[in-house]
Each structure stands twice: as C-alpha cells, then as structure tokens.
Structure 1
Amino acid sequence: MQSKYYRTLLPLALLLAACLFLSSPLLDVQGIGPAKNYILVFQPQQQTLPQTVISRGHTVVYDLSAAGVMVVRTHIPDDLIHIPGIISVAPDRPHITIPAKPTKPLTSGLLHPLQVSSKAEGCASNEAVCPQQWDLERIHVPQAWEKTRGSRKVRVAVLDSGLTSTHEALGDNYDKEASKSFVEPTNCAQDSDVNSLEDFNGHGTWTALHIAGKNTSRMSGIAPETTLINLRVLNACGIGTDSWILAALMHAHKVGAQIVSMSLGGFVCADGVVKESYYCRTEKDARDGASTWKAYNQTISYLLQHGTLVVASAGNEHVQLDQNGRVMGKSSVGFGAEKNDPSNNLYGLREIPAGIPGVLTVSATNRITQAAQAGETRHGQYGQGLRDQLAYYSNYGARIDVSAPGGSRNYNVPRFDCISTRCDGLTPSSSGGDDHTGVFGAFGIDEKGQLCSNCYSYLQGTSMAAPTVSGVAALVLARHPGMSVQELTKLLKRSVTPFLDKNATPPAASNSKSPYYNYTIDYDAAPISNHLMGTGIIDAARAVS
C-alpha cells in the first residue's frame, strides 16, 4: 500500500508480498479528521489544574499531569500558552504505522500440512520451535523455555491497532479489563466502532501475539504465559495521533504494565529551525516539534522512573540516528517518493518514540540474503548468502540498543529496485521450502478486511523486531521479578549473540552525484558497520540464564 502521510509519520512494519509502506510527513493524510486537540506541556512540579483549563473554555481530554502533560480540545488555541504554568503547546499530530494488509493472508487451511504439529500441547517445545518461526530459533527461545515461559505476574502492554480477540493463537492471558481503545472518530471508512478493542487493521494482532500468543499447532508467542494488555492507539487505517499514544502510555503504567511495546513512531523538528532541512524550515515547525518531543520525553521518563520499560522499533526509513534520535544524513530509502525527491531528506528531524532517551530501540536484521539472478534487480545486489544482515529498510546508528530478526525481501533490496516477482517476495529459496525470509505470525484480518480467527502472515519490518525484544524482556522479569528498569535494560543489551556474518548492507545514497541519490540504497558505498546495529542480536537463552 502506498499512502500519503502527514508530518510526523513513521512506517514501521512490512508485509508478505508488497508492503514497505512509504510516508511523507507534511502531506495530508487520508483517514484522519481535522485536528482539534492540543498537547500542553508544563513542569510536573508546577502542575496546571484541570479546573483552570476548563474555566478558560477548554475541554480536558486526557489529564496526564503526573508527567506534566495534558491534552485539551479547544477552538481558541491561542489562549493555551497563556494558562499559568504552561511552558509549551503543540497541535495534536497523527502518526501512521503500517496498516498491514497482505495481498493473500494465509489461513490455517492454506498452511503446508507438514508444518502442522499433531501434538496437543502445540508445536513449540524446549527442544524446537514451530517450523515457520525461524526467528525464535535464531534467538534461542526453546533453550530459554527450559527456565521459563513467562508469568501471569508480568504484564506487557502493546500499543498498536488492537487485537482480534477470537484469534486461535490468543490464550486466556488476555487482560481485557485493563485494555482500552484511545481511538477517536475520524474519516477512516473502515472504523465502524472506535471504542472497540478489536483489530480492524491486522498489525496489532501480529505484534501482540508474537510476544504472548499461546502455544498452538501453528505458532507460539515468545512468552506465552505473560499477561497481555491491548491498548488500541491506531485506527483501522493505521493512523494514530500523539495524544492517543501519550494517553495510552500513562494508562499502561496505571494498569501495572512492566513493559510497553510499540511498533510505531514518527519524526519531529526538535532542534530549532534547520535551514538545510526539508521539514524544519519555519519557526512553527520548530516550536511544535520541540513541544511534542518534550511531551514524549516527560511521559516516557515518568514510566521509566516508575518501573515500566519502553521498547520501540527503530523505524523503516534506512536512516542513521545519533544517540539523541537525530537523523544524521540527507537521504532515506523512499520515505516520501520512489525517486530523487526533496521529501526523502529527513535531515533536521528526530524520531519519536524510538529516539527518546531511555527507550530500548530495536533495529531489524534479515534471515539470509538469497542470491539474485541476472535481470532480477535494477541495480545489482550486496551480501549474497550472508545472514543477520541489516534489513534494507531498518534505521541504524548510535541510538540502536539491540537488533532482532525483522525479516526482509528475498534479495534484501527495496521493492522499487526489484524487477522479478521473486525479488519482491518473502518466500522460500525453493518451491515447497520452509526457509521463508519473512517473519511468521498471527494476523488479525483477512484479505477482505474482516476479523479473522485463523489468519497468519509472513511480515518484514522493525515492527517485527521490537515485540521480539519485548517478549524476551517478559521472560527475564518472570525469572527476576524484582529487577528495575535500569537493570533490565542493561541485561537485555548484554544478552546478545554476535551477528553471524559481517554486515554488507550499504546506507541510503547521500552523494548528489550518485545515480541512487536521495531515494534508494547506495549500491556503490561501503557497508554500514555492525557497531551501528546495537550490541548484537537479542538472545533469549542468555537473557534468562
């Protein structure tokens, strides 16, 4: 799906055959109505009382005062900055995650019969993973299960598009009472009930059940005994706003979540006016972005200080992020257009929430780069036959804490650099094989957009990598329930295995003389160093040892 995205978009997952979705942060968005909400930021120790806001003619939508944040709805926004104690105001902006909709979702009946377990207890065990779940084998989940499969006392909140409650991979560990939808009415045609907890997009079911799905004949979550909380912050069109996400973060802490998992994000102008930037050239851009950044920073800091780990996907633009989430280069892989276009230049932006200090940020690696035949790609290939390669879409840099399997197209090149159908796929190396290059999991809807109880999909994206780390974190807390957020973060960052092969994936082309400039991979450039992909590949067995 290609879609026009608004200013702070970050696409974060990709699907079976055709799907690394692109985004452009200053374009109009289909599926979202006109913004009426505003985010107020103030110092937590100098709280602004809701009564003060109400007395001035505004409506308090979410009172997040513990973090120094409040969301209000108003028709007189110019008054907001004059409220005593308010230090900044930002309009509520939409973020877009991949509205994961495979062209042909797999149902149980379409899965290869040899890949179905006849064991009553499910296909995963302490000796082996389910046949489709190569990613769990790569991070040694069966060995971790010798110690624990999670605990109901560990609570993980997933902020995404909802959860299909009838899916066969969902167990009785779903805490529906603690779950909540933060979605508001928009012009998204697929959203018939914004208050519903169900997943009318598909993406949320995949991420949630990858963490804590039950052990079935098709798949298992990484920590199937973990309590799962579903916080719906993305509508059926895959769109969410800052206010929905901020409110859900605070709700996650309120209902006792020790881990928050987010496969979503966006970009803001948090470093003032940047003349070389395509997106941060006005005072308003800089002012709004800085306020939004501060709102996320204060909210996430509150969670971290009060015992909730926040895990986020690194993003799919293939840009380098410094330690503070700043985009370092002036090119991306098709962020705004599949050609040399100024909208692909993200310089001057910072990423949220992955760039916020303290967030555990996860980049994505592939399974193996299959070798292309002559004429299958437009510009050649790199890394043939190599494993654990940085996915062509994944962000990287000093901000990355760890990597995890995220899958990648067969030849690890962008879709628009493909000529053959095989290049564009997430398929086995041979007909009937089981070495898919995508990551397998439960999917919430069928190809008609209807809720589906037995649909699955092979996906790719940093959206797949983040819940992998969240699942491992849940296993760790089951073993060490008294561990602090700081201790847990340090443990996860050192609980890794080395990359199986040296990375060969190059950066996006930033040389203006390059034929690939400002829209795709620089096939002539030196590879990205492995040290810009975090400390290594997360390893479940090492984490629980």
Structure 2
Amino acid sequence: MTAPQSRSRRAIAVPLGMAMATALAFLPNVSASAADTAAPRAAAADATSLSYVVNVRPGHGPSAHVKKAIAEAGGTIVTSYDRIGVIVVHSSNADFAATVRTVRGVQSAGVTRTAPLPAQSTTDVGTPKVLTAKDVADVEAAAGQDPLEPLQWDLPAIKADKAHEKTLGSRKVTVAVIDTGVDDTHPDIAPNFDRDASVNCVTGKPDTTDGAWRPSAEESPHGTHVAGEIAGAKNGVGITGVAPGVKVSGIKVSTTAGFFYTEAVVCGFVWAAEHGVDVTNNSYYTDPWYFNCKDDPDQRALVDAITRASRYAEHKGAVNVAAAGNENYDLAADEITDPSSPNDTTPGDRVIDPSECYDIPTQLPGVVTVASTGAKGIKSSFSNHGLGVIDIAAPGGDSTRYQTPAPPATSGLILGPLPGGGWGYMAGTSMASPHVAGVAALIKSTHPHASPALVKALLYAEADATPCTDPYDIDGDGKIDAVCEGTKNRNGFYGWGTADALDAVTK
C-alpha cells in the first residue's frame, strides 16, 4: 500500500448521501487538497515580499538596536509578541534573515514561506454536498440522541455516549480550534461558541473584527467540522460532539489558499494563551515544510518561534493537542523521504532524520500527538505512527473497505458539521485530534483546577490500552503496511491507548 502524500494536514470531505464508491475513491488521498490541481495562481501583488520571524530574548520586546537593524535590513515590523520574544516582519530583501541573524540580541531568524506575500490560490478542498432532508429522514435516532448521532460510530468507540449520561462537560471550559476558521452560525456550533476567545490570525496579527474567524465560501470547511466534533451541541439538531457542554472558539490561521504559516500559528497560540483557553486543537502542520530541520537556520527559527508560542499557551493553562499526520510515516524511523516540501512553491524529495527535523506543532515538546483509528478500532491506513512519538489514539476514520462500522452507521469516515448549516464526512488524523481534545475538555470539566500536566497524565492513564496490530496488512494484499513497536501499554500505533471519554468524567 502506498501512503497518501498531502500538501497539508487537511482531510478530504465526503458528503453524506454521495455514492460509497465515490467516497472510497477520495480516501486514498485523504489529506490532499483540491488546490493541488486547481488553476495556476494569479501573480502576487508584490513578487518579492516575504514574511519572517525574528526571535529575541523573551519578556522585553525588541530593543532599539534590534528595531534599527531590522529597518536597515529592509524589514517592516508587523507585530511583536514580547512575552515570547517573537517579532513578525515583512521584507523584500532576499538577504534579510541572514543579515539579521548577525545582529546582537537576535537569537534566530527565518523566512516563513517560499512563496511571495500573499499566497494566491483561492481554492482548497471544495464545497461538500449539504445533507438533504431525505438523508436526515432516513436516520432513526433513539430517545436522547441527536438526529444524526446513530451515524456517529466514533462516539461509542471512545465511550462518549456513555460519558454523556454522566455529564456533557462544563461551560467554564473552552477548546480553541486553531484551523481554517469556524462557522459559528452553524446550529450545532452556535450554542457553544465562545466569541471572546475567537480571532483571525492569518497575517500574524490578531484581527478581532466580528466574524473574522469564519471561513469564506471559497475556503475549507475543515475547521467547522473539527469544532463540531469537539463540541457539537446536544440540542436535537444534527450531530453530537465529544464534549457537547463545553465551549469552542475559532482561531483562524489558514490563508485562503489553505496554508498555515508560522506567524499565524504563533499568533494563534498566543491568543489562546491570553484568552483563557483550556485546550487547543491543531489539525495541521505548519507550512511550507512538512519537517523543519534544525540544521537549516530558517527552519530552526520556525521551530523556535512555535515552540515558544505553544509553551506559552501551556504555561497559561492550555493543553495543546495535535494530529499526527496522514502519510503512514513511521515518525520514529531513522530516515523519512519527504517529497512535499516546500509546498508553497516547488517541492522536491529530501531525506530527513525525524529526530532532528520536526513536524510542527505535532512533534514539539508538551504537545499531545494523536494517531487515528478506524471503525474496527485499529490504526487508520493513512495514520502516521512511531514509538515514543504517538501519545494516544482516537477515531479519525478510514476507508469503509478497510474498516466497516456496525449498523446503523454506514460510513467509515467521521460525520460533522459543514459551513452553511450542513453536515458531511471527513477522515484523517485531523478528525482524531479533536476527539482527544474533546476528552481533554471533559477531564478539565471533571477536574477544573487540574494543570495541563495533570490533564495530560489523566488522559494517558485513562486511555484504554490497545496492543499492536500485528501483522498490519490493512488492505489485505499480503504485504505489511506498517510495523508497530512497543508493548500493549505503550506502542507506536496507539501510544498509551485509545482515548476514553467515560473514564474522563468518572475518574
């Protein structure tokens, strides 16, 4: 089996009601974006302007000396996150980063992209079909279930349905969806939306204009789907989230083209840190490099900036949860061939050492790294893995041909809300991560004074130990598709085990 390659960690959307053969045809490229095959991008307004991060000593802001050096090197400061010492700069000087790195007081500096400002594509995964009235009418919900909940095999897979009999979670807990934007007008999201903790961070500087966190009609439905998986309200409409009583916010960090650049991600973590967020969900990797290598001064600066930001969010009380990725990579291997970087201009094959080159924020210290399982409870065909890298597993879906759910569910993918009031299917570690974020929110609801460290400890201790799937021949062709290393209690496919929502509210 060949692992799917992707431009970024965006899961494919498969509308409910679409023929199953069509749904399966999409799945082998589960995290790919339609932007890859879209019409060529228009020329950038400024063909040479790029964005940079300049990292200085935290807590003091840029000195007059550093500000002067930035200006002399042809840079314009967009914003400065003084508490973590990250400055966002625009410059058309190709030597800007190299010049500034020599300045006293600058600890690292790097360009955040290889494409000029701004990225120009206006198409991402397309617009999934909205559920029809007949689709909804064909589902028979039991008493106490939301209308589409019978199709959500993923909830009983982590005992979320049983957890909801105990509690739906606390409205004092907020989960921030750092993603492509959230449609807070959706009936499954509106009752639980936290406007004060929502923002648009795409430029690297917070935009608090009302609704700025929403995706436009041309943008991906990804963030809205993720938000619903976490906190879709139990209100007699549509689906039910893992933690339907907690609040959810939208922190938009994705360009219209679907790129998640460092300055936006830094802004997102800092915003979450300073607005009382308890959990962040990060179902993406930071473009344009799938892996950021410390021996490259530009990439090292990106790792530095996002590490500072994610650590700051954790220091302020947030548990950071991230998707492991959809390429069936062994992230604990000695070498990985990355064919997708840089993904905003011309990618090329490069062999990297994953112990020295990081998928960010997924592989950053302190981040909960989530692998995906399918309807049969085994690793999804696409899910990245790796002993010591994967912390926990949760449902992210898989091809129904590989893992078929028990009736009345009909699709092996994950059902969630789509912008504009509809619902549809998606799959990927992007869908697994919000399940864990939801369970973390239930733990925080049960233990309101728990630190991020304690929430993570409980998350791992309460997970259901899941032994290696050995041999792992997901497509049944007689060839091993991935190798799992480790013990029943901790291994490269499932980490500490499969997330358990019932234990989260009872222990």
Structure 2 residue aligned with 1:419: none
Q: Secondary structure at the match of 2:195?
A: coil
Pick the aligned partner of 1:408 from 379, 386, 398: 398
In the aligned structure 2, how far is the partner of 1:32 from the partner of 1:535?
48
**Per-residue deviation at 1:47?**
4.4
Distance 1:61 1:399, change over 3 A: same
Give runs of aligned pairs for residues 161-176 of structure 1, distance below 5 A: 161-176=180-195
C-alpha distance in 2, partners of 1:116/1:498? Answer: 33
Aligned to 1:389: 378
Paired residues of 1:54 and 1:60 also in contact (CA < 8 A): no
Deviation, structure 1 residue 112:
4.6
Structure 1 residues 478 and 247, CA gap change in structure 2 (3 angstroms): same
% identical equivalent positions: 25
Match of 1:15 in 2: 13
Query: What SS does structure 2 have at the residue aligned with 1:396?
Result: coil
- Determine whether 1:461 maps to 2:428: yes
Q: Is the 8 A contact 1:319 1:329 kept in 2?
A: no
**Equivalent of 1:65, from 68, 74, 82?**
82
Q: Which runs of 4+ in 1 moved over 6 A?
A: 332-337, 426-429
Q: CA deviation at 1:196?
A: 2.9
| CA drift at 1:131 | 0.2
SS in 1 for 2:101: helix
Partner of 1:320: 330
The yes-or-no answer on 1:399 pairing with 2:389 is yes
Write the distance in 2 (CA, Å) between the matches of 1:92 and 1:170.
32
Cα gap change, 1:30 to 1:523, in 2 (>3 Å):
farther
* Farther off after superposition, 80-89 or 480-489: 80-89
One of 307, 312, 320 as aligned partner of 1:310: 320
Which residue does the alignment assign to 1:536? 497
The letter for the 1-side match of 2:91 is T
TM-score between both structures, scaled by the size of structure 1: 0.73
**Matched AA of 1:330:** I
Could you say if the C-alpha distance between residues 261 and 209 of structure 1 is closer, same or farther in structure 2, counting changes exceeding 3 Å? same
Q: How does 1:137-536 map to 2 (within 5 A)?
A: 137-184=156-203, 196-199=212-215, 200-215=219-234, 216-266=236-286, 267-272=290-295, 286-322=296-332, 328-331=334-337, 343=349, 345-347=351-353, 349-367=357-375, 387-397=376-386, 398-412=388-402, 434-444=409-419, 452-453=420-421, 455-499=422-466, 502-505=469-472, 523-524=479-480, 527-529=483-485, 531-533=491-493, 534-536=495-497
Q: Distance in 2 between matches of 1:480 and 1:11?
A: 31
CA drift at 1:493: 1.0
Q: RMSD value over aligned CA atoms? A: 3.8
In structure 1, C-alpha distance between the alignment counterparts of 2:448 and 2:230, rounded to whole Å? 18
Does residue 111 (structure 1) correspond to residue 72 (structure 2)? The answer is no
Instruction: Write the distance in 2 (CA, Å) between the matches of 1:195 and 1:255.
Output: 17
Counterpart Cα distance in 1 of 2:273 and 2:259: 23
- What is the one-letter code of the residue matched to 2:392? V
- State whether residues 197 and 277 of structure 2, in contact with CA within 8 Å, keep that contact through their aligned partners in structure 1: no
Is 1:42–1:68's contact at 8 Å kept on the other side of the alignment?
Answer: yes
* CA positional deviation for 1:12: 4.1
Following the alignment from structure 2 to structure 1, what is the Cα–Cα distance between the partners of residues 32 and 169?
36
Do the aligned partners of residues 333 and 82 (structure 1) sit closer, same or farther apart at CA in structure 2, a change above 3 Å counting?
closer
State the 1:60 CA deviation: 2.4
Counterpart-to-counterpart distance in 2, 1:94 and 1:122: 48
The answer to whether 1:53 aligns with 2:51 is no
Residue range with higher mean Cα deviation, 31-40 or 244-253: 31-40
Partners of 1:234 and 1:250 in 2: CA distance: 16
- State the distance in 1 between where 2:468 and 2:188 align: 33
* Mapped partners of 2:283, 2:64: distance in 1: 31
Cα pair 1:116 1:218 within 8 Å, conserved: no
Give the partner amino acid of 2:334: M
Q: 1:331 Cα shift?
A: 4.7
Q: Distance in 1 between matches of 2:176 and 2:248?
A: 6
1:194 Cα offset (Å): 12
The equivalent residue for 2:20 is: none
Q: Over residues 396-438 of structure 1, what are the superposed CA-to-partner deviations in whole Å (9 max), with x where a residue is unaligned?
A: 11211000011111234xxxxxxxxxxxxx9878xx9633211
- 3-state SS of the aligned residue for 2:77? strand
Partner in structure 2 of residue 384 of structure 1: none
Alignment CA distance shift 1:112-1:306 (3 Å): closer
Q: 1:395 to 1:462 in 2, by over 3 A?
A: same
Report the residue type matching 1:296 in the other structure: I
Secondary structure of the residue aligned to 1:487 is helix
Who is 2:125 aligned against?
A: 101
Kindly indicate whether the alpha-carbon contact (under 8 Å) linking 1:153 and 1:227 is maintained by their aligned counterparts in 2.
yes
Question: Structure 1: how far apart are the matches of 2:415 and 2:482?
Answer: 31
TM-superposed CA distance for 1:51, in Å, is 8.6
Aligned residues: 451
Q: For residue 55 of structure 2, give the secondary structure of its aligned residue in structure 1.
A: strand
- Rounded to whole Å, the distance in 2 between the matches of 1:171 and 1:194 is 14
Could you list the runs of 5+ residues in structure 1 that have no partner in the other structure? 186-192, 273-285, 368-386, 413-425, 445-451, 509-520
Matches of 2:383 and 2:114, distance apart in 1:
22
CA distance in 2, matches of 1:184, 1:31: 19
C-alpha distance in 1, partners of 2:183/2:163?
Answer: 28
**Paired residue secondary structure (2:249):** strand
Provide, for residues 62-83 of structure 1, a one-character-per-residue CA deviation record: whole Å limited to 9, x for no partner.
3112112111123342543244
Does 102-111 or 161-170 show the bigger shift? 102-111
Alpha-carbon contact 2:8-2:259 (below 8 Å) kept: no
The TM-score, its normalising length taken from structure 2, stands at: 0.78
CA contact (8 A) 2:338 2:349 kept: no
Q: Distance in 2 between matches of 1:493 and 1:110?
A: 41
CA distance in 1, matches of 2:194, 2:330: 37
Amino acid at match of 2:394: A
SS in structure 2 opposite 1:39? strand
Deviation at 1:101, TM superposition (A): 3.5
* Separation in 1, partners of 2:127, 2:371: 25
| Distance change in 2, residues 1:81/1:527 (3 Å) | closer
